[in-house]
Amino acid sequence: MEKLSGAEMLVRALQDEGVEIIFGYPGGAVLHIYDALFQQDKVQHILVRHEQAATHAADGYSRATGKPGVVLVTSGPGATNAVTGIATAYMDSIPMVVLSGQVRSDWIGDDAFQETDMVGICRPIVKHSFSVRKPEDIPEMMKKAFYIATTGRPGPVLVDIPKDQTSPLVKVPYEYPKKVKMRSYSPVARGHSGQIRKAVDEMLKARRPVIYAGGGVILGDGSEYLTKLAKLLNFPVTNTLMGLGAYPGSDPQFLGMLGMHGTYEANMVMHSSDLIVAVGARFDDRVTNHAEKFCPGATVIHVDVDPASISKNVRADVPIVGPVRQVLEEMVSMIEESPDRPDAKALERWWDEIKGWREYHGLRYEVNDGGPMKPQQVVQALYKATKGDAYVTSDVGQHQMFAAQFYKFDQPRRWINSGGLGTMGFGLPSAIGVQFAFPDAMVACVTGEGSIQMNIQELSTCLQYGLPIKVININNQALGMVRQWQDMQYGGRHSQSYMDSLPDFVRLAESYGHVGIRVDRIEDLDEAMEKAFSLKDRLVFMDIYVDPSEHVYPMHIADGSMRDMWLSKTERT
Amino acid sequence: MRRIISILMENEPGALSRVVGLFSQRGYNIETLTVAPTEDRTLSRLTLTTLGDDRQIERITKNLNKLIEVVKLVDLTEGPHIERELMLCKVKATGAQRAEVKRTVDIFRGQIVDVTSSVYTVQLAGTSDKLDAFVGTIGDAQVLEVVRTGVSGISRGEKVLSI
C-alpha cells in the first residue's frame, strides 16, 4: 500500500472526495499541508485576504453548486477568523468541511504560539468536529467529515489538525474508505408513508391552503417536485428568505416571500389559511411573528429532514421526518393516482381573495420625482439588466430585503444570502465562491456601504483571479435597517447608524484594479447597469446613491400575528 | 418535572462536552450527571437528571439525538425503572452519638466503611430521596462531608438500552 504523510493524506482525501477547489490562507501550523498542495494540481487553492472570506467563499460555492465547500486555515487567529463564516454556514445548514491547523500535539494546552481550542470554540456552531490524534486516522476521519457535512440536515464539520500529524517525516499507508458506516449517525432515508398519506388527505380536503417552502427544499433538491405538487393542486406558494428560487419567482401561483418583510398577500394568505404545507422550513421567528398568534385556523403539515425542527416553534399536526425530495415525490404520485381533487369552487374563491390582497399592496413604493433614487429601483434595474438570470449574493440589511422582494428567482441556488445568522460581509466573498463555480455566469453582489466594508479587502482576491463580479453597492450613507428601526421604535434617534467619511468607492475599486461607476440619478441607472454587465471580464463596482430615508415595507408589527403589518410609514393593517 | 435521561454514546474524547454543552447553550440545567464506559469499551453510558416540562424534554431529547456521538437514548422516567445513587458520608460519631449513628445507618441499610475514634464514614445506596432522608435524619450538626455519585438508572423488565 502507498505510504503518505498526514499532509499528503489530507490533500489526497480531498482529491478522492472529488474536491476541485478550496479556499484558505496559509500559516505556520498548516505549512506541511500547503507544501503538499503545492506538489499537485487536482485541487485548486484560492488565496483570500481574510479567513472569514474563505469560509464565506466556500459557503457561496456550496450554495450555488450543492457540493460541500472546503476551507483551510491555520491555527489561532486563522481559525478564529473563520468562526463567523462557520456559524453562518451552520445557521443556514450549508455543507462545509473546515480544516484548521493546530499547534503540535505535545504543545496543546501550553498556551503555545497561535494556539486556540478551535474544537471548543466551534462546538455550538458545527454539526460535528474531529481532532486528529494519529495520522493513520486521517483517511477515515476525512471520509466521515464529508459524509456528515453533506447528509441529513447538512452543516459545517471541523477537522482540527495538530502540526506534527502532518509531518513529512512520518509516512503511513493510505487507503481511502469507499463507504462509511456509523452506528451513531444514520439520517432518515424516507418519510413515513402513513404520515404522507395523512398529509395528502389533508391537502385534498383543504379549502384555503398554502405551501410554505424554505431553504430545505433547495438543499434537499426538491424544487422540481414542489413545483409539480403546487401545479397539480393549484395551491398558492410562498417561500422563506432562504427558500427563494425553490418555486419559480415569476409564476402566477407564487405569492412572494413571507414573514417580517414578506409581501402583504403572502402574510395574509398564511394568516387566513386552513392548511399550511410547510416543507424544509423551520417556522423561524422572522417568519411567524408572535408564535402564539400564528395562523390560528390552520392545520399544519411539516416536512423536514431534521426531527428537532418539527414542532419546535409551532406545533405540527402532521409531522413528516424525511428528505423533502422523496416526500414530495411520494405526495405527487399519491395525488396523481387519486381520483380526488380539492374543491375547485373553494379554491377559486380562495384565489379571488388572494387577488384582492395582491391588488391592495403588491410591494408598492413611492418614487421620488426628481429626487434621490429609491433602493427598490436599483434592484429592479438589476433584474432588467440581467434578465433575471444572474446569481445574486447579498449582504445583510435593507438592500438584502429589497433584493429578496424585487428580484424574481426562477431557479434554485441563484439567491445566496446569510439568512439565519445575518452576517454582514457575506456578500462579496460568497460571490467569489459562486463565480469560481460558474466562471461564465453573471454574478451580482447586492450590498450596502456598511456591509461591503466588512470584507472589502476581497476586491484584491477578485483581481488576483480575474473574477468579473458586479458589486451593486446600494449606498444610502447609513446603516439602513438599523436606522429604520430607530425611526420606528426609537423616536428617530439615529444612534451610530450613520457613516461619516465614506471612501470614494470608485477610486477604491480602481486602486484594486477594477472598474468603478458612480450613479446619482435615476436617469443614468439603466445605462450604467448595461455598461457594467457588458464588461464581461472586469469586476465593476457600482456605487449607487439612494434615498437614505427609505424603509422596507411591509414590516411585521412586533409581537403581532402574521397579518399585522406596517405597509408604509403611515399605513398599517 | 424531574426526568432521568440515559444515553448510550461513543466513548470518544469530546463526546461528554458536547452533551453538557447542549444543556448550557440552551439554558437547561443538569441536576446530576454520571458517566462510565460499558461492558463494550467503545461505548459509554451517561445518565443525567434534569427538570423540564414535556415540551422542553422533547426538545432536549431531539437535540441530544442529533449529536453525532449519541447512539441511543431513553427517558427512563417514561416507564417503570430502577434508580440508584451512591453516597459516601462522613459523620461525627462521638459519645452517645456513636451508637445512635450506627443504628440509623442500619435502619437505612447503609454500611460503615471506615472508622476513627470520632468519625464514621458511611456508604449508602438508594434513590436520591432515601439519601436525602438519611442526611436529614443524621442532621446537619453531625454531617461532616457528603459525596454523591448522581443518579444511575435502568428500566425494569426485559427492555434494554443497547445497540
pLDDT digits (tens, 9 = 90+) for A280-320: 999 999 999 999 999 999 999 999 999 999 999 999 999 99
Which among A68-72, B11-15, B95-99 has the top mean pLDDT? A68-72
Angle between helices A264-272 and A344-360 (to 10 degrees): 140
For A26-44, write each residue's pLDDT tens digit.
999 999 999 999 999 999 9
Q: Give the mean model confidence (pLDDT) for residues A149-164.
A: 98
Residue A230 has pLDDT above 90, yes or no: yes
Q: What is the structure's pLDDT at A354?
A: 97
CB A22 within 8 A of CB A70: yes
Verify whether the Cβ–Cβ distance A148 to B17 is below 8 Å.
no
Contact residues, chain B, for A184 at CB < 8 Å = 9-10, 68-71
Instruction: Name residues whose C-beta falls within 8 Å of residue A39's C-beta, 6 or more positions apart in sequence.
Output: none
Task: For A344, list phi and psi in degrees, rounded to 5.
Answer: -65, -40
Burial B97-111 (b: 16+ CB within 10 A, else e): beeebbebbeebebe
Contact residues, chain B, for A308 at CB < 8 Å = 59, 62-63, 65-66
Q: Evaluate if pTM is beyond 0.90.
A: yes
Give the separation between CA A565 and CA A569, rounded to whole angstroms: 11
Residue A499 has pLDDT above 80, yes or no: no
ipTM: 0.91
Q: What is the structure's pLDDT at B27?
A: 87
Which of A124, A185, A307 has the CB atom closest to B25's CB atom?
A124
Q: Give the bridge partners for A156, in sequence order.
A: A96
Q: What is the structure's pLDDT at B163?
A: 85
Q: What is the structure's pLDDT at A300?
A: 97
Long-range contacts of A527-535 (CB under 8 A, 24+ apart): A529/A381, A529/A382, A529/A384, A529/A385, A530/A385, A532/A385, A532/A470, A533/A385, A533/A386, A533/A442, A533/A470, A535/A468
Contact residues, chain A, for B17 at CB < 8 Å = 120, 123
Distance in Å, alpha carbon of B66 to nearest chain A alpha carbon:
8
The closest alpha carbon to B10, from B34, B33, B41, belongs to B41
Verify whether the Cβ–Cβ distance B68 to A131 is below 8 Å.
no
Q: For strands A470-475 and A443-448, give the pairing.
A: parallel
Count of C-beta atoms within a 10 Å radius of residue A393: 34
Interface probe, candidates B45, B64, B66, chain A, greatest A C-beta count within 10 A: B66
Instruction: Name residues whose C-beta falls within 8 Å of residue A342's C-beta, 6 or more positions apart in sequence.
Output: A203, A204, A205, A206, A207, A209, A233, A234, A235
**Residue in B with minimal Cα distance to A128:** B68
Q: How many CB pairs under 8 A join A and B?
A: 33
Q: What is the structure's pLDDT at A542?
A: 98
For A439-493, write each residue's pLDDT tens digit.
999 999 999 999 999 999 999 999 999 999 999 999 999 999 999 999 999 999 9
Retrieve residue A143's grid coordinates.
471520509
The closest alpha carbon to A63, from A91, A95, A86, belongs to A95
Which of B21, B65, B68 has the CB atom closest to A128's CB atom?
B68
Contact residues, chain A, for B66 at CB < 8 Å = 306, 308
pLDDT band at residue A500, thresholds of 50, 70 and 90? confident
Retrieve residue A323's grid coordinates.
428528505
Verify whether the Cβ–Cβ distance A185 to B68 is below 8 Å.
yes
**Would you give the distance in Å from CA A249 to the centre of its chain?**
17
Q: For strands A470-475 and A515-519, give the pairing.
A: unpaired
Give the separation between CA A116 and CA B138, rounded to whole angstroms: 49
Q: Give the bridge partners for B85, in sequence order.
A: B126
Total residues found in chain A within this entry: 573
For A385-438, write each residue's pLDDT tens digit.
999 999 999 999 999 999 999 999 999 999 999 999 999 999 999 999 999 999
Q: Give the mean model confidence (pLDDT) for residues B8-21.
A: 94
Angle between helices A324-337 and A223-233 (to 10 degrees): 30
Which of B9, B59, B63 has the CB atom closest to A184's CB atom?
B9
Burial A20-42 (b: 16+ CB within 10 A, else e): bbbbbbbbebbebbbbbbeeeee
**Residue in B with minimal Cα distance to A121:** B21
For B41-95, write each residue's pLDDT tens digit.
999 999 999 999 988 899 999 999 999 999 999 999 999 999 999 999 999 999 9
For A185-226, write each residue's pLDDT tens digit.
999 999 999 999 999 999 999 999 999 999 999 999 999 999
Q: What is the mean pLDDT of chain B?
A: 95
Q: What is the structure's pLDDT at A370?
A: 85
Distance in Å, alpha carbon of B91 to nearest chain A alpha carbon:
40
Q: What is the structure's pLDDT at A1?
A: 84
> Residues of chain B whose C-beta is under 8 A from some C-beta in A?
9-10, 13-14, 17-18, 21, 25, 58-59, 62-63, 65-66, 68-71, 163
Interface probe, candidates B68, B69, B73, B163, chain A, greatest A C-beta count within 10 A: B68
Q: What is the mean pLDDT of chain A?
A: 97
Retrieve residue A417's grid coordinates.
444570502
Instruction: Name residues whose C-beta falls within 8 Å of residue A137's C-beta, 6 or more positions apart in sequence.
Output: none
Give the separation between CA A1 and CA A270, rounded to whole angstroms: 61
The closest alpha carbon to A93, from A156, A145, A147, belongs to A156
Helices (H), A252-323: 264-272, 285-288
Q: What is the structure's pLDDT at B1?
A: 87
Which of B14, B59, B69 has the CB atom closest to A119's CB atom?
B14
